[in-house]
Structure 1
Amino acid sequence: MISKRIIIAAVALGACALAQTGLAPKKYLTLPLGTVRPSGWLLDQLNVQINGLAGHEHEFYRYVSQTDWTGGTSAYSSLEEAGSYWFNAMVPNAILVNHTVINQKTQAFLDYVLDHQDSTGWLGPEVGTTKPRYLWGRYPFFFGAIQMVENNPALTDRVVNALHKFVPLANTMLKNNGEGVDDWAATRWEDFVMALQWLYDFHPNGKEDLLIDTMKRLKWTGVPWEKVFSAQYFPKTAVEHTPNPFNLPLTWHGVNMAEGLKALPATYRFTHNQSDLDAASLGWDMLFQYHGRPSGIYAADEYLAGLEAVRGTELCLVVETMFSGSYLYQVIGDPKFADRVERITYNALPATLTGDMWTRQYLQQQNQIAAKNMNPNPFPNDGAYSNVFGLEPNYPCCTVNHPQGWPKFVSNAFLTTPDQKSLVHLYLGPFSTTATLASGNKVTVNVATLYPFGDTLTTTITATSAFTYFVRIPSWVVGGTIAINGTAARAVSPSNGLQAVQVTAGTTKFVLDLPAQITTESRPHGSIAVHRGPLHYAYDIARSQKVLARNAQESRAVDLEFDATAPWQYAIDPATLKFSNKAPASGRLPSPIFDAGQPPFTITATACRINWSTGGDTFAAPPPANTTCTGAQTTITLWPFGATKLRIGELPAFKST
């Protein structure tokens, strides 16, 4: 075992030796919440979410239902997990779709928490009780409060003063042998560091030294992520039979690792050490090399789960990795982070929710032939109910945490350069934004596109002054072109993933065509995964549906069992893959787009039935490495992974005749 005390001491000594002070700048800056808006199908997706479980759970779900805030008995006011998660997720969701009721609820939540801050500065339900005070549950609340300030500057003084009242208390607790640091706070300290850095950047109030000292103490009393994400200690297989060298198993917990991806870029800002950024980049690469999925995400059915296609990925892990990837790009500027966040968003996120977003899984599988109470259970650390689509299969955390995924993807889709002279369009999709850049340059951008269900993006920019606009060109684009103000299209020429566009005062319009080729990815047991552009494609298994449970207060909140009603045991010939685009004549995508038969993009393949066994009757065995057709060749259709709920995403290969 590695001694935690030795590691903490070493980190502390290194920090004390620093010559530089203050916070290092980020490569790119975010815009205030509400500045970037979704449009087209993406706006519809947020509306589907807020009309589903996310937008109604406060009415009935026991962890966040509003019953009696004024008396302090409501679980809604809890900052231990559920309330914080809900608040952090629903603040941006409600603002981006202008949802009056939810905006009122989040404002009431903020008011309740701040009104009950005690004289010591503590925020949370432990006020006036003898319950132990643990720090972590407050961190998602801080993120939500910061987002509210961004959108409504009138809240600034109240929120900033409350945070500055909390920081000295937290600093004292950390000095007192890490008081308030439980196992969760020890792994998720980076979230508090990011909140402190927001205060330092925008509202330091003369407390710069205290803020940085608190950042350092959080790191010293927490998991050393530079060690966890090192080649020496990083686990390269599923970890259920591997001793954890850090004497804290939660370091290999999937959601903790997703959040921990932010730790080293956050650390870099106060250490100024390039080694922190190098370790963050390496950790990101190893996570997906040894545990990654073609859907963009990685596997952890509670703990890191290797490469087998039936092992699970938690929904909380999906949305936290999206958020961490956005932050990594903002600090480091490597386009690999943006490419993967886009893949995760357009594949893994929708795949683990029903199209109407009234039910969600705890764990999704790359090869998922049933969603039911599993016997036998392929998940060594999670319950047999984990892949059911329901209100709270296995654990409730994802019910309240998952709604942050889509709105935070939207709010991080546009950035500015540090000098605020340029605007950067990072995530591709239908958006609009209005921002005032340096020297009072007011800029409005409208992006019309069906992307990722279309290859063309038409961007119209109005600006009071000339400036350089940047748009990301994903790594999978082949033969991309740009045509500016009606001129002939020319090849894109991105630098570090960004295409520069010289915008003049007035109106500039350009059209990007970003085609991609069908590619295959090698997976375990000789199987392959199919991709085109940001989308991963899978065989969508026809299914039956059975209601297992229905919430007594909300009839739309159900637990659903899905079973396959058609064969799924196919091998495909990768040489026969053909892409089809059935774009709607109306130019509007169906709603909800991530559901069976809805996307306009498909890929067909020559296939044949093979012998492929199951584990019990609930999950597929590993894809057979040596395939022999048991029937005639046929043609099957592969659909975007996010629209499938039962699927085979890693298929055996064969050569057709």
Structure 2
Amino acid sequence: MITPLAVLVPLAIGSGVLAQNIQLAPKQYHNLPLGKIKPSGWLYDQLTVQINGLAGHEHDFYDYVAQSDWLGGDSYYSDLEEAGSYWFNGLVPNGVIMDDATIMSQTQQFMDFVFANQDSTGWIGPEVFDLSKPRYLWGRYPFLFGVMQMVEYNSSLADVVIPPIYKFVNVANSMLQNGTGFEPWTQTRWGDFVIALEWLYENYPNGNEDLLLSTMSLIQEHGVAWDEVFEDQYFPKTATENLTNPFNNVLTWHGVNMAEGLKAPAASYRYTHNQSQLDSSSQGWDLLFQYHGRPSGIFAADEYLAGLQAVRGTELCDVVETMFSGSYLYQVIGDPKFADRVERIAYNALPATLTGTMWSRQYLQQQNQVAAMNMTPDPFPTDTSYSNVFGLQPNHPCCTVNHPQGWPKFVTNAFVTTPDQASLIHLYLGPFSVATTLANGNAVNVAVDTIYPFSDTLTTTIRADAAFTYYVRIPSWVSKGTIAINGGAEEAVAPSNGLHAISVGAGTTTIILNVPPEITLESRPEGSVAVHRGPLHYAFDISRNQTVLTQNAQQPLAVDLQFLATEAWQYAIDPSTLTFHSNPPSSGTLPSPIFDSGLPPLTITATACLIEWGLAGSEFVDSPPENPECTGAPTEITLWPFGATKLRIGEFPVFKST
């Protein structure tokens, strides 16, 4: 067996080296405080849909996080074991970036309630409902992330919340020294605790440097050695259900643990200064997507890593946690591959696993998904046959409370600054507004007017008190991109490490950026292909009927939906015939919600033919057949952005039409 313990660089705490002299390794880029970046245009509408949907109403009726439950203390999950922390972590940025007073009031009340229930030992939140259950640390990590965001937005809260957080850190440190407080989930997710401790170290050390460094070291010591998990010799190259996990903690191959664990070595690097930890996070990222990646940007894990087959599932929690990890890894490491993938996930995998109105969500999504129903037999080795139904909580409730962090954290990480705070970087392309103050009191306002990714053009207006260098990320898929400044001639973009630099003067500067991509093909198993253009993955949107399976008694909009195909989907395509079509809205405003059938203004057509392509069960599709023969005459089909499809074929067999 491989040891689950991480190898640490000795910190020499308490042996003559003052903790105050240990500097955390700097990030390549810094995030802006919550509230400085806001969505605009279609993205603002998308966040509006989210808070008008399930995410914004869970507090009103959903058993795990409804106020009536956590105030009464009678909900198992309201005690920060999972649901309460997840909900708080996601709703804090939702409320702030959308200026939603109701949500901000709810999150403030929740935080106040948690700290009011801190016991004399320092343990935060109400005690677990089952008093015989041991105390485990990991469920508190997302709560700490929520508090960090609250303090970033309103620094006056620090005087109130930092002292009780240190009481918790003290009790956590004591528990770890005594060999308690951890179980498999705590052991896999330790990187999140380290990130929270590092935030305290940099922003509110308050003379507790030794305590913080000691706690970082202890939680990593008791945790999974992610640097070993991410070694090529140990990393699983296929679906894992028939493999023997070489680690003592079998949850290392669990999808959500993997999504969160990606950033753990990079978090460790910041206090150990061990370069190999950075290399480990980067290699783990590459291995994960090489052997389990999907054209939608995310990876396959129907509970555990699931290989490359298009019928295998991806958990919604995998989606939002990978987006957050990718943003963190970009800020620490600076490799644009992280930003490229986060943008792909946000514009494909995230909306694909939610209904357009965001009142129902899946537990698992599939690349080739010809039905959303209670499937027989179950195509998922560990999860239930109900997992791809769109509903309130199919399979497990975690994704219901955790998915709301996806969109707002995409927004809050869309711009970053250089470490000296002198330059601003537009990282994730889309419609945003930014109001911040850079170094030397340089007040800067940025407005990005675009319908990207449903267009290739972004118009950015910058107002600044003083001159500075502005950067914009040029994604790797851009072909012959151009930029024009203040009405000047177009010039070819010239990115360095993915960033194009622009000298911005005091006053107003206008930038018009064109980032046209080509249609590209991705090779998939069985000789199939996936179709991309820029950040968007394209799929055949299968028309469907809808049946309401269940309806929540307290909230009738919260329903479980069955989708069944109402047309043939067994198509092979001729990749040489792919043709892009753009039909921009005459009003300049996209439909709402944009991620639903037939609504995006971009499509790709292909010559296709029906083939023999069977089902592997009652309503889930078999692997794409290799070298299929047409059973009918060639025809033209339309492919739509993947995120707008709910039943789909995203990986196609191929044929030659001529």
- The alpha-carbon distance between structure 1 residues 618 and 71, as it changes in their structure 2 partners (threshold 3 A), is closer
Deviations 1:487-523 (A, max 9, x none): 0000000000001010000011110000000000000
Structure 2 match to 1:137: 139
* Residue correspondence of structure 1 range 4-403 to structure 2 within 5 A: 4=4, 7-8=5-6, 11-12=7-8, 21-67=22-68, 69-73=70-74, 77-126=78-127, 129=131, 131-177=133-179, 179-403=180-404
Residue 116 of structure 1, CA deviation: 1.3
- Tell me, yes or no, if the aligned pair for 2:115 and 2:125 is still in contact at 8 Å: no
Matches of 2:12 and 2:225, distance apart in 1? 16
Matches of 1:131 and 1:579, distance apart in 2? 57
Matches of 1:70 and 1:47, distance apart in 2? 27
Q: Gapped runs of 5+ residues in structure 2?
A: none
Residue 103 of structure 1, CA deviation: 1.1
- The alpha-carbon distance between structure 1 residues 280 and 68, as it changes in their structure 2 partners (threshold 3 A), is closer
**Partner SS for 1:620:** coil
- Tell me, yes or no, if the aligned pair for 1:116 and 1:127 is still in contact at 8 Å: no
Structure 2 match to 1:548: 549
Deviations 1:249-307 (A, max 9, x none): 10000000000011011011011111111111111000000000000000000000000
Code of the residue aligned with 1:123 in structure 2: it is I
Structure 2 match to 1:518: 519
Structure 1 segments, 4+ long, off by >2 Å, are 12-22, 68-77, 127-131
- Tell me, yes or no, if the aligned pair for 1:66 and 1:74 is still in contact at 8 Å: no
* TM-score of the two chains, using structure 2 as the length reference: 0.97
**Partner SS for 1:516:** coil
**Partner SS for 1:614:** coil
- Tell me, yes or no, if the aligned pair for 1:91 and 1:103 is still in contact at 8 Å: yes
- Tell me, yes or no, if the aligned pair for 2:389 and 2:560 is still in contact at 8 Å: yes
Matches of 2:448 and 2:389, distance apart in 1? 37
Residue 130 of structure 1, CA deviation: 5.3
Code of the residue aligned with 1:367 in structure 2: it is N
Residue 248 of structure 1, CA deviation: 1.4
Residue 423 of structure 1, CA deviation: 0.4
Deviations 1:364-413 (A, max 9, x none): 00000000000011100000000000000000000000000000000000
Code of the residue aligned with 1:3 in structure 2: it is T
Deviations 1:93-123 (A, max 9, x none): 1111111111111110010011111121110
Code of the residue aligned with 1:122 in structure 2: it is W
Residue 632 of structure 1, CA deviation: 0.5
Matches of 1:50 and 1:404, distance apart in 2? 11
- Tell me, yes or no, if the aligned pair for 2:352 and 2:646 is still in contact at 8 Å: yes
Matches of 1:41 and 1:68, distance apart in 2? 35
Matches of 1:564 and 1:127, distance apart in 2? 44
Matches of 1:193 and 1:646, distance apart in 2? 40
Matches of 1:588 and 1:378, distance apart in 2? 40
Code of the residue aligned with 1:373 in structure 2: it is N
* Residue correspondence of structure 1 range 362-511 to structure 2 within 5 A: 362-511=363-512
Deviations 1:8-42 (A, max 9, x none): 5xx14666699993210100001110100000000
Q: Gapped runs of 5+ residues in structure 1?
A: none
**Partner SS for 1:256:** helix
Aligned residues: 652
Code of the residue aligned with 1:245 in structure 2: it is P
Structure 2 match to 1:3: 3
Code of the residue aligned with 1:587 in structure 2: it is G
> Identical aligned pairs, as a percentage?
68
Matches of 2:353 and 2:292, distance apart in 1? 18
Matches of 1:82 and 1:438, distance apart in 2? 39
* TM-score of the two chains, using structure 1 as the length reference: 0.97
- Tell me, yes or no, if the aligned pair for 2:296 and 2:344 is still in contact at 8 Å: yes
Code of the residue aligned with 1:388 in structure 2: it is V
**Partner SS for 1:367:** coil
Matches of 1:75 and 1:127, distance apart in 2? 7
Residue 582 of structure 1, CA deviation: 0.2
**Partner SS for 1:67:** helix
**Partner SS for 1:328:** helix
- Tell me, yes or no, if the aligned pair for 2:63 and 2:69 is still in contact at 8 Å: no
**Partner SS for 1:580:** strand
Residue 3 of structure 1, CA deviation: 3.5
CA RMSD of aligned residues (A): 1.5
Matches of 1:142 and 1:325, distance apart in 2? 19
- Tell me, yes or no, if the aligned pair for 1:65 and 1:75 is still in contact at 8 Å: no
**Partner SS for 1:460:** strand
- Tell me, yes or no, if the aligned pair for 2:113 and 2:125 is still in contact at 8 Å: no
Structure 2 match to 1:615: 616
Residue 70 of structure 1, CA deviation: 4.9
